[in-house]
A and B are shown apart, each in its own frame.
Chain A
Amino acid sequence: MNWRALFARQEFIILLVLIALCAVIAIINPTAFLSVQNLFRILRACIVIGIFALGTLMVLISGGIDVSFPAIAITALYISTRIIVDTGIDSVPLAFLLGALIGLGLGLINGVFIGIFRLPTLIVTLGTLNLFRGALLFFVGSERIRLSEVTTNLADASRLNLITVPLARGEASLHFTFALLIALALLVWFILSRTMLGRAIYAIGGDREAAERAGFNIVRTQFFIYGFVGLLAGIGGIVFGILSREADPFSIVGTELDVIAAVVLGGALITGGRGTVIGTLLGVLLITVISSNLVLLGIPTEWQRFVIGVLIIIGVGIPALQALRKRRLRVQTA
């Protein structure tokens, strides 16, 4: 791969932006930014948004968009918590299993509308976003559950760390669910790049009709995509609950745009057919560094939204410009 090809890849550009941003922050506020404490803080903030982003990546590659995953996540978290409280089986693996199953079930509902009825993905998931959340609040409950009030093991999971580093004042630790993010990233990478299913997902997003003619089963693939995204969302919901130590039915919803932004910044095309796990993780890291570190530069919170907005426009704009230039070249040569 030559330099030109490297620069044409958005993953490489986003890496450069990330390095440049970190360098600027590190120069201005080195003691605060370049600390173990801050590194672990950034990585921890990546966990939930990262898990959601992996699902979103898969949907974007297939040419769709899913905005319902936050509702799936909070529904999975809340119902799982209620089941655990009501049955008294206070188990962390059970929480993850329940969360994954509820997420899968809700995701398959999206799959039915999208795969069988062939409705536009944005419309369907906008609908189910409100449907799932409304049903949760109306039928299940709207009361915030503080995990330590009703569980022991689940509440203690928030204190389970991969690494703890003693500091001059206090300590810094990295939560065990970070390993889960890495494992899920590897799984999604494997599916996308090492299986026929992954080929099918790229193919549908590239050109649906061509994929159909090539013999890919589109309905089955879409069922897999939306079911799997639901499953990831369910797991992400449980992780969110453990990290935040509570199940609050009003949380998570509202994070969808940051997640989609991270994936798009990471090089996934909103029109489908392109996107990588590594790019997505870089996009998540970039969004997280912006939203949690600009304050170290003394930049007020409102400006963080502004900077994220600018980056998204640039992130989406660069590939669009490249596509435009290619088309012009083709027209000229024709």
Chain B
Amino acid sequence: MLRRLLIAALLLSGILGVVGLAMAQDATPGALFNVTNEYTMATVVKVTGIAWFDRMEQGIGWFGQDFPSVTAFQQGPAEADAAQQVQVIEDLIAQGVDSLCVIPFQPETVEPVLQRAREAGIVVITHESSAQQNIDFDIEAFDNAAFGRNLMDNLAARMGGEGEYTVFVGSLTSKTHNEWVDSAIAHQIATYPNMTLVGDKNESFDDPQVAYERMQELLVQFPNLRGVQGSASTDVAGVGQAVEEAGLQDEIVVVGTSLPSIARDLIPTGAVDMISFWDPAYAGYACNMIALTMLEGQMPASLLDGSGLPPFLSFGFPNLPGYGSMSLVDGKVFYGSAWVEVTAENLADYAF
């Protein structure tokens, strides 16, 4: 009975959760249910000491505060190295942790060790790894197609819905980049008929210098260019620099996936107009929240056996921005809508 009530509460609050999206920044999301059992919950990141995962560690800290009986901590190799990450996970299995949240550096390399973890009875959740096999669940911050459409909406709004634009991807084989850009282009064709895509997809190879040089060429090649959508986190940095040096910050709109720590100097001048990303603190929190739900036996049975699932199931954590309502795909991957938009107005709120 209690359990059914809880699930009902979860479902209801999932719907309300979207309303809670506009919550204040650095507050802890707040415990959804009381947990008295003691658990040791580890989060394994790709690499320690970079701003992105420092921010994630903050989210793990909030999780520990919200659930005092839980020992939650974050670990990772000192270098982004697949073998070292495996070693960290091995050590944690030996220590007998109750759950592992892993952000794999190389998904295929961690498969065997994740399998051993599950055999040892450890709950395994991954993030940014939607094709992972040996897991209970994977959690993704957002659906890539929706994210791409949102970038296009931002680009179009600032371009007044008309003019020439072009797109950048890390490479033509970067799966997520191309999903963002393809859905953005399809969305533009359907919604903004007065906008025109010029040139092919530009490849930056995740190098701001390449993006910079390519953008300089594009400025010469397409003198009427009015908008750019970037994909790699460094794209808008290179593109924005070229725009700034050409004195075109007011003429050309630049939006894309990036981080404040990469584009901070370009946003106030208008060389880059808007960047979007997901907040690793909330992603880390959500990862552990799902793990805790599993450990407490609170995960709805229909989600566990995959039987008769509706295509979109509202399930989530009301106070966690972007994860209030998630969809479950293939019985394994949760998608939130946890993107953050940063412009000159809220740039100062983000240190990473």
Give me the interface of A with B, judged by CB distance under 8 Å.
31-33, 35, 37-38, 41, 45, 142-143, 146, 148-149, 155, 158-159, 166-167, 169-173, 244-246, 251, 292, 295-296
Contacts and interface: CB of A to CB of B under 8 A. Distances in A.
A245 B265 contact: yes
A244 B264 contact: no
Contacts of B207: 251
Classify the interface of chain B: helix, strand, loop or mixed.
helix
Given A244-B212, A251-B209, A38 B49 contact: no
A171 B220 contact: no
A45 B219 CA distance: 15
22 contacts: A31-B223, A32-B223, A33-B220, A37-B246, A146-B262, A146-B265, A148-B264, A149-B264, A158-B241, A166-B247, A167-B247, A170-B246, A171-B246, A171-B247, A172-B246, A173-B245, A244-B208, A245-B237, A246-B237, A295-B217, A295-B221, A296-B217
A149 B220 contact: no
Given A45-B213, A170-B248, A244-B208, A38 B220 contact: yes
B47 to A, nearest CB: 9
B50 A35 contact: no
A32 B251 contact: no
Contacts of B130: none
Given A41-B220, A146-B261, A169-B223, A244 B209 contact: yes
Q: Chain A CB within 10 Å — which of B50, B80, B245 has the most?
A: B245
A33 B221 CA distance: 9
Interface in B205-234: 207-209, 212-213, 216-217, 219-221, 223
B221 A296 contact: yes
A328 B126 CA distance: 71
Given A245-B241, A292-B216, 18 more contacts: A31-B223, A32-B220, A32-B221, A37-B220, A37-B246, A41-B216, A146-B261, A146-B265, A148-B265, A158-B241, A169-B248, A170-B247, A173-B247, A244-B209, A244-B212, A246-B237, A292-B217, A296-B217
A314 B212 CA distance: 31
Nearest to A175: B245
Contacts of A170: 246-248, 251
A148 B267 CA distance: 12
B296 interface: no
A173 B241 CA distance: 13
A169 B213 CA distance: 19
Interface in B176-232: 207-209, 212-213, 216-217, 219-221, 223
Interface residues of B, number: 27
B79 interface: yes
Interface string B241-267: 100111110010000000001101100
A258 to B, nearest CB: 13
Contacts of B49: 143
Contacts of A173: 245, 247
Contacts, number: 62
A236 to B, nearest CB: 14
Interface of B: 49-50, 79-80, 207-209, 212-213, 216-217, 219-221, 223, 237, 241, 244-248, 251, 261-262, 264-265
Contacts of A41: 216, 220
Given A37-B219, A244-B212, A251-B209, A169 B251 contact: yes
Contacts of B213: 45, 292
Nearest to A137: B79
Contacts of B261: 146, 149
Contacts of A244: 208-209, 212
Contacts of B265: 146, 148, 155, 245
A26 to B, nearest CB: 13
Nearest to B200: A300
A244 B212 CA distance: 9
Contacts of B80: 142
A37 B248 CA distance: 12
5 smallest beta-carbon distances between A and B, as pairs: A148-B265, A171-B247, A170-B247, A170-B248, A170-B246
Contacts of A172: 246
A33 B244 CA distance: 21
A251 B223 CA distance: 30
Contacts of A166: 247
A167 B220 CA distance: 13
A300 B223 CA distance: 19
A199 to B, nearest CB: 39
A142 B261 CA distance: 16
B208 A246 contact: yes
A278 B155 CA distance: 47
A45 B210 CA distance: 12
Nearest to A143: B50
B65 to A, nearest CB: 29
B209 A142 contact: no
A31 B220 CA distance: 9
Nearest to B246: A170
Nearest to A147: B265
